[in-house]
Structures are given as structure tokens and as C-alpha cells.
């Protein structure tokens, strides 16, 4: 699904002379190149600087002029932050993997089920239900934050992982994305053939729809994992106990108590970003393709 | 969209049933099949509606009720107070209006440059250039950082004593700025955090839309002597109108909920106050302030409803605005 958007804008021209002109029309001017390089620099510099500060002693991190080259203290700073009992960052990492992983699996599964139903099955009230899902995406979590908090207290989920997992198991975005993809990627003939062979709706889903949706499911999984890994507002509300945080809440604890120790804080941000950095290095093209694909459809 | 095959039962054999038992079996099979076709779609969409009903609809409805009471974990009883919370909020709460001002100030300060720069960047990415994939990946990379990480990195970049920005200012002979002290300075610093994370994302969205514009239009315009700048304003921008509206609404919803960046811009336990005089306390920070520090839950309900109202109204205004602006061209 990414290949369609990721090709360069090659102008369709057959005659060599016209093609030449068209190529010139789309060639980047020197100013454009300079602008892009500047953009890339600004975009990447904070990552570089994160490494610089995380690999310095705290004294070197807080010096004038500021350091611009990495030092040799990375391992030391990382072990300091891992051992920091107030931040519980190891626990935070494990919790974040658990929470983001569970939500990702659930979103892909429920999203593909519902997306298939909305794209290919006929049932009464379909459009009204779709509209409700669309509306749900417009409502910020702040609107219901207080009753939701009270509900979590009643369920005795405060300071536990279900409070940041269960409400987010399936959202409107996943359903819409899978529905868009299923509409064009699942051939009706195939569904029909499966029906003739006596497949139930579930078997059609399992044997026909799931294989066809695989590329979109992968992208949805990547985007969901990234979003959930970075969740802050709601975990901040319900995970007040610093001993059982997600990794983002660990960072918040660091900032509250160790704000003078920048090299430790930056080692923390490095650890918290590393999993998504690896995901981005491995699947960056798919992630970009997913964002662009979604934009064209909406 | 839907096909007749969805409802059509598989064609049965045309032969008459051999035995009564086989006949019964087939009947049962048909009934199951009919049930399957009719109800399975609802089962497939059910998980969303269960989750949404419990954790979405119920809290929202409850918020409307709670906002009419003086509920608090400190009170033994709950009394119905009518619209008192709203009256106080609208007429007698300078801190709320301070938060509204801050939120909108930072929203404008971040969103306008964010979308303009994203447009320019997308236009540049849309050119033929070597290493195209590298540029796209590099520009998109900030989306992997969490708002907490962004806030922590930029807090140090904007540090008063040893911050990078003040060092740069020093190089050109400008006195260091205390980025957390002033209203405008803090708004500016926080807005750059938001922009750093979101410009690349928006640029990708614009780029996708730009690639779906027919290239022949540009060639025709170039033949007529239109400059690139002219092409950008007269072809690209009008064609991008739905996309610009989309990004503007997404930015409005996100921008008015601004929370993590201003919260983590200061350290320590009092961060929810948003600076020494609340100069960068946003509506969401104020909401948690009322809820968790003052324990006025009924009042917090009113704040939450006002926030939602503001988001809805301004999304709509921005929608109208974007429609006007891009149709003028």
C-alpha cells in the first residue's frame, strides 16, 4: 500500500523534449535544497543533543558554553537512571511494553473485525453506527476525565495497568483505517466464493479478509504502538503511585525530583525513546506511508 | 458498496432431501446461516461500542450531572447547585480566563507557523531530489518522541543558565532571556516544542495531498509563464483546501488540549500551576488543578464542559475560516 505514494512525482510525458521540460519543472532549486537541509538539521538536532547530554557528567552538561560533542559517561548515566528508585524506570518500561502491546493487538484485531463489517457486510443501522464512531473521535478525553477517574476508583484500578489499557483497547481511528483499506483490498468475488463454499462470516474474516488486510494491519499496529507508548495525560491522572508507572510517568518523576541532574534525565529520555527509535529505523517507510495514505483518504 | 451476496444464502443442492434426518440437518444449517448473516456483523462491531459506552459515553453524561453539583471528596454530602458552577466560572474566576488566554495564545503562536512551515516543507519534499526517502524520514522523525521527552529536551534548550538558545543569543550579543518568567517568552518556548514535534507530520500529510494533484496543471501553468511561487499559491493551495481544513481542525483539537509541554516546562511539585504567576497554565492544567489540588469536582466538571465547548466552537470557526481563505484564491 505504500508503493503508490512513495514514488517520486514523475511527470507523465512521452516525448523526450517535453520530458526534459517537465523534469526541470520539478527539479529542486538550490534554495529548496538549502531549506530541506536546514529542516533536517533542526529535526534531528534534538536527538543528537539528547545523546550529547546523556553521555556527559552533569557538571559538563551544565557548563558554558554548552557541550556539543558526546562524552564517555553514557553507561554511567544509564545505570544511574535505571537504579533510581524514585523513577522506577525499569518497571515503567515493562509496564509500557505491556500496555502498548496489549492495546496494539486488541486494536488490530477489533479494528479489522469492525472495519471488515463496515466495508463489506450489510446490516441495519450501519451508517448511523459509523457516524457515532466518527463523533467519538472528536471528543477529547478531558471532557469525561473526572467521572472516568471516579469509575477507575470504584473498579479499584487506580495505580494499576488496566486503568490505562482497557479504555483504549479499540478506538475509532483503527476501525476507519481498516474499513478504508478493506473496501479496496478485499475482492467481493473472493468473499462470494467463500460463501458458496459454505464459509460462515467468521471464516470469511479469518481466511479471506485477514490475509488481505495484513499490510494495513501492520501499519495500524505500528501507529497504535507509537501512540500508546507516548501516552501521557491519562496515565498522569490515574498512575499517581511512582512505584508503578508507565515509562512516560517515570520521566515525569525524574523531572519532579531530579531536575538539577540533566545528564540523568537525558539518559532517561534516551531509554524512553529507544524502542520507538528502533521501530522507526526498521519500519520508517511503512509508518510514513501509513500517515500519507491516511491523509489522502480522509 | 455492499453486495447482494452478503445476504444471499449459499445455493442449496437442487435435489430433494434423501432422508428426513438429512433434511432436518440442512434446515438447521440454513437457520444458523441466516442468523450468522443477520447478527454476526453486530458482533464484529460490538467491542467498540461496549468500550465506548462504558469509558466514553457514561463519563461524558456523568460530567453534565456532576457539573450541576458541589461534589467533592471532602464533602460528606452532595448538593445540587444548579448553574452556580458555570456562573462562577464565567463571571468570577480570573484564573480560568487566564488559562483560556494562555491556551489560545499558545495555540495561535504554534499552529500558524506550524502549518505554514509544513506547507513549505511539503512543497520542497515534492520536488525531484536525490535522497528523497532520507529527507522524508528525517523530517518525520520527531513523531517518535513523546510529549514528555520533547518537553524535557526543550526545557534544557531553553534553560536560563546554560541553555542552548541563550548561548546562541549571547553569540549575537543579546542578553539571556528567562524563558519561564515572561508570558510571551514562555508561550514562545512552548510553541516551538509543539511545532518541532508536529511540523514533519503535517508536512507528510500535505505532501500526500500534493502528490494527488494532476501534474499537467502545473505544466500548463509553467507554459503560460507562471512562476513557481504563483503556481504554489494559485494551484497548490486551492487544491489542498480539504487537507488544510483537516489539519487545522486536528491542530485545534490537539492545541486546545495542550498539557504535557507546559507541565514539564517547569520542574518540581508545583508544576501544575504553570509558572510563578500561571503565565503558561493551560485549560487542561487548570482542570487538573481544580480536580486534584482543590478537590472541587463539581466545578471541575464545569471546566471540562467549557473546554469541550471551546474546542467545538473553534474547530467550527477554523473550518469556516479555512474554507473562506482558500476559496478566495
Distance from CA of residue B66 to its chain's centroid? Answer: 26
Asked if A147 lies within 8 A of B62 by C-beta distance, the reply is: yes
User: Which residues of chain A are under the pLDDT cut of 50?
Assistant: 1-15, 298
Same domain, B155 and B285: yes
Asked if A195 lies within 8 A of B10 by C-beta distance, the reply is: yes
Give residue for cell 488486510: A213
Give A231's contacts in chain B (Cβ within 8 Å).
146
Asked if A36 lies within 8 A of B124 by C-beta distance, the reply is: yes
Closest chain B residue to A27, measured at CA: B128
Q: Is the dihedral of CA B126, B128, B129, B133 positive or negative?
A: positive
Distance from CA of B184 to the nearest CA of A (A): 22
Q: What is the pLDDT of residue A85?
A: 86
* Integer Cα distance of B200 and A40 in angstroms: 10
Closest chain A residue to B227, measured at CA: A25
Across the interface, of A62, A117, A138, the residue whose CB is closest to B253 is A138
The domain tally of chain B equals 2
Q: What is the pLDDT of residue B75?
A: 84
Q: Is A67 left (phi over 0), alpha (psi -120 to 50) or beta?
A: beta
Nearby residues of B19 by Cβ (< 8 Å), 6 or more positions away = none
Answer yes or no: is B243 within a domain. yes
Question: Among the three residues B17, B50, B66, which one is the final residue of a domain in this structure?
Answer: B66
Asked if A255 lies within 8 A of B66 by C-beta distance, the reply is: no
Written as nine digits, the cell of B100 is 483560556
Across the interface, of B11, B152, B269, the residue whose CB is closest to A251 is B152
Q: What is the pLDDT of residue B46?
A: 96
Asked if A201 lies within 8 A of B41 by C-beta distance, the reply is: yes
Partners of B69 in the beta sheet? B80
Same domain, B107 and B250: yes
Asked if A36 lies within 8 A of B267 by C-beta distance, the reply is: no
B1-14 residue pLDDT tens? 444 444 444 444 44
Across the interface, of A166, A192, A291, the residue whose CB is closest to B5 is A192
Across the interface, of B55, B128, B305, the residue whose CB is closest to A167 is B55
Domain extent listing, chain A: 85-256
Give B305's contacts in chain A (Cβ within 8 Å).
143
Asked if B204 lies within 8 A of A142 by C-beta distance, the reply is: no
Nearby residues of A217 by Cβ (< 8 Å), 6 or more positions away = A108, A112, A178, A210
B221-253 residue pLDDT tens? 888 888 888 888 888 998 898 899 889 988 999
Asked if B128 lies within 8 A of A232 by C-beta distance, the reply is: no
Same domain, B10 and B115: no
Written as nine digits, the cell of B304 is 471540562
Closest chain B residue to A11, measured at CA: B215
Asked if A117 lies within 8 A of B44 by C-beta distance, the reply is: yes
Answer yes or no: is B80 within a domain. no
Same domain, B118 and B57: no
ipTM score of complex: 0.88
Same domain, B152 and B50: no
A169-206 residue pLDDT tens? 999 999 999 999 999 999 999 999 999 998 999 999 99
Asked if B219 lies within 8 A of A63 by C-beta distance, the reply is: no
SS3 for A223-272 is HHHHHHHCCCHHHHHHCCCCCCCCHHHHHHHHHHHCCCCHHHHHHHHHHH
pLDDT in tens, chain B (329 residues): 444 444 444 444 445 555 777 777 777 778 888 888 889 999 999 999 999 999 999 999 999 999 999 999 888 888 899 899 999 999 999 999 999 999 999 999 999 999 999 999 999 999 888 888 999 999 999 999 999 999 999 999 998 888 899 999 999 999 999 999 889 999 999 999 999 999 999 999 999 999 988 888 888 888 888 888 888 888 899 889 889 988 998 899 999 999 999 999 988 777 889 988 899 999 999 999 999 989 999 999 999 999 999 999 998 998 888 777 655 54
Asked if A233 lies within 8 A of B136 by C-beta distance, the reply is: no
The answer to whether the CB of B245 falls within 8 A of the CB of B321 is: no
Asked if A292 lies within 8 A of B204 by C-beta distance, the reply is: yes
Across the interface, of B51, B59, B204, the residue whose CB is closest to A151 is B59
Same domain, B153 and B244: yes
Same domain, B152 and B283: yes
Distance from CA of A64 to the nearest CA of B (A): 6
Across the interface, of A62, A202, A287, the residue whose CB is closest to B162 is A62
Across the interface, of B56, B138, B218, the residue whose CB is closest to A43 is B138
* Integer Cα distance of A298 and A11 in angstroms: 25
Asked if B37 lies within 8 A of A201 by C-beta distance, the reply is: yes
Distance from CA of A259 to the nearest CA of B (A): 6
Give the structural domain span for B128: 94-328
Task: Select from B206, B211, B145, B142 the least CA-distant residue to A227.
Answer: B145
Question: Among the three residues B51, B66, B81, which one is the final residue of a domain in this structure?
Answer: B66
Residue B109 Cα distances to A35, A73, B67, B191, B252, angstroms: 22, 38, 31, 6, 12
Residue B226 Cα distances to B90, B128, B217, B220, B236, angstroms: 52, 19, 11, 9, 13
According to CATH, the topology of domain A85-256 is: MetI-like fold (1.10.3720)
Closest chain A residue to B197, measured at CA: A43
Answer yes or no: is B307 within a domain. yes
Distance from CA of A237 to the nearest CA of B (A): 8
Across the interface, of A129, A150, A230, the residue whose CB is closest to B146 is A230
Asked if A46 lies within 8 A of B142 by C-beta distance, the reply is: yes
Inter-chain Cβ pairs, chain A and chain B, closer than 8 A: 320
Same domain, B40 and B170: no
* Integer Cα distance of A219 and A213 in angstroms: 10
The answer to whether the CB of A219 falls within 8 A of the CB of A289 is: yes
Average pLDDT of the residues of chain A? 88
Same domain, B62 and B98: no
Amino acid at each position: 500500500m505504500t508503493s503508490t505514494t512513495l514514488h517520486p512525482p514523475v511527470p507523465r510525458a512521452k516525448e523526450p523534449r517535453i520530458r526534459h521540460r517537465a523534469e526541470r519543472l520539478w527539479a529542486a532549486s538550490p534554495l529548496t535544497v538549502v531549506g530541506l537541509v536546514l529542516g533536517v538539521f533542526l529535526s534531528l538536532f534534538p536527538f543528537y543533543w539528547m545523546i550529547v547530554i546523556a553521555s556527559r557528567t552533569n557538571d559538563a552538561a551544565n557548563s558554558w558554553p554548552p557541550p556539543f560533542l558526546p562524552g564517555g559517561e553514557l553507561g554511567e548515566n544509564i545505570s544511574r537512571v535505571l537504579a533510581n528508585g524514585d523513577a522506577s524506570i525499569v518497571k515503567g518500561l515493562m509496564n509500557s511494553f505491556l500496555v502498548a502491546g496489549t492495546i496494539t493487538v486488541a486494536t488490530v484485531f477489533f479494528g479489522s473485525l469492525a472495519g471488515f463489517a463496515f466495508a463489506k457486510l450489510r446490516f441495519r443501522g450501519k451508517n448511523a453506527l459509523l457516524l457515532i464512531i466518527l463523533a467519538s473521535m472528536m471528543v477529547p478525553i478531558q471532557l469525561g476525565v473526572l467521572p472516568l477517574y471516579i469509575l477507575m476508583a470504584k473498579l479499584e484500578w487506580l495505580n494499576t495497568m488496566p486503568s490505562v489499557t482497557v479504555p483504549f483497547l479499540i478506538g475509532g481511528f483503527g476501525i476507519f483505517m481498516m474499513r478504508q483499506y478493506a473496501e479496496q483490498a478485499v475482492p467481493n468475488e473472493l468473499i462470494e466464493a467463500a460463501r458458496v463454499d459454505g464459509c460462515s462470516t467468521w471464516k470469511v474474516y479469518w481466511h479471506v479478509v485477514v490475509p488481505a488486510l495484513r499490510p494495513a494491519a501492520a501499519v495500524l499496529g505500528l501507529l497504535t504502538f507509537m501512540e500508546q507508548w507516548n501516552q501521557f495525560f491519562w496515565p498522569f491522572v490515574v498512575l499517581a503511585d511512582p512505584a508503578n508507572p508507565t515509562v512516560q510517568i517515570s520521566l515525569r518523576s525524574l523531572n519532579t525530583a531530579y531536575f538539577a541532574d540533566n545528564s540523568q534525565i537525558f539518559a532517561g529520555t534516551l531509554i524512553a525513546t529507544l524502542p520507538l527509535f528502533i521501530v522507526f529505523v526498521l519500519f520508517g517507510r511503512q509508518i510514513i506511508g501509513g500517515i500519507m495514505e491516511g491523509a489522502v483518504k480522509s | 458498496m455492499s453486495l447482494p451476496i452478503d445476504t444471499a444464502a449459499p445455493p442449496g443442492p437442487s435435489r430433494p432431501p434423501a432422508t428426513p434426518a438429512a433434511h432436518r440437518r440442512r434446515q438447521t444449517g440454513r437457520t444458523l446461516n441466516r442468523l450468522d448473516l443477520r447478527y454476526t456483523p453486530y458482533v464484529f462491531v460490538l467491542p467498540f461500542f461496549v468500550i465506548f459506552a462504558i469509558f466514553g459515553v457514561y463519563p461524558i453524561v456523568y460530567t453534565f450531572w456532576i457539573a450541576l453539583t458541589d461534589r467533592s471528596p471532602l464533602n460528606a454530602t452532595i448538593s445540587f447547585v444548579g448553574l452556580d458552577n458555570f456562573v462562577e466560572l464565567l463571571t468570577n474566576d480570573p484564573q480560568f480566563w487566564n488559562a483560556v488566554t494562555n491556551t489560545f495564545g499558545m495555540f495561535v503562536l504554534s499552529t500558524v507557523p506550524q502549518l505554514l512551515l509544513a506547507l513549505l516543507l511539503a512543497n520542497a519534499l515534492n520536488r525531484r531530489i536525490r535522497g528523497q526517502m532520507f529527507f522524508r524520514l528525517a523530517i518525520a522523525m520527531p513523531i517518535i518522541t513523546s510529549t514528555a521527552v520533547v518537553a524535557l529536551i526543550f526545557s534544557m534548550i531553553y534553560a536560563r543558565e546554560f541553555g542552548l538558545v541563550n548561548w546562541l543569543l549571547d553569540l549575537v550579543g543579546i542578553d539571556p532571556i528567562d524563558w519561564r518568567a515572561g508570558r510571551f517568552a514562555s508561550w514562545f518556548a512552548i510553541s516551538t516544542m509543539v511545532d518541532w514535534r508536529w511540523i514533519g507530520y503535517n508536512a507528510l500529510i500535505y505532501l500526500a495531498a500534493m502528490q494527488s494533484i494532476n501534474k499537467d496543471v502545473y505544466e500548463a501553468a509553467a507554459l503560460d509563464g507562471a512562476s513557481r511561487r504563483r503556481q504554489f499559491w494559485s494551484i497548490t493551495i486551492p487544491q489542498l483546501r480539504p487537507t488544510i481544513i483537516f489539519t487545522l481542525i486536528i491542530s485545534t483539537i490537539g492545541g486546545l488540549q495542550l498539557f504535557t509541554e507546559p507541565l514539564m516546562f517547569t520542574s518540581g511539585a508545583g508544576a501544575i500551576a504553570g509558572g510563578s504567576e500561571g503565565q503558561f497554565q493551560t485549560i487542561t492544567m487548570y482542570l487538573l488543578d481544580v480536580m486534584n489540588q482543590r478537590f472541587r469536582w463539581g466545578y471541575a466538571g464545569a471546566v471540562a464542559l467549557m473546554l469541550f465547548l471551546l474546542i467545538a466552537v473553534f474547530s467550527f470557526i477554523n473550518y469556516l475560516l479555512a474554507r473562506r481563505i482558500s476559496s478566495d484564491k
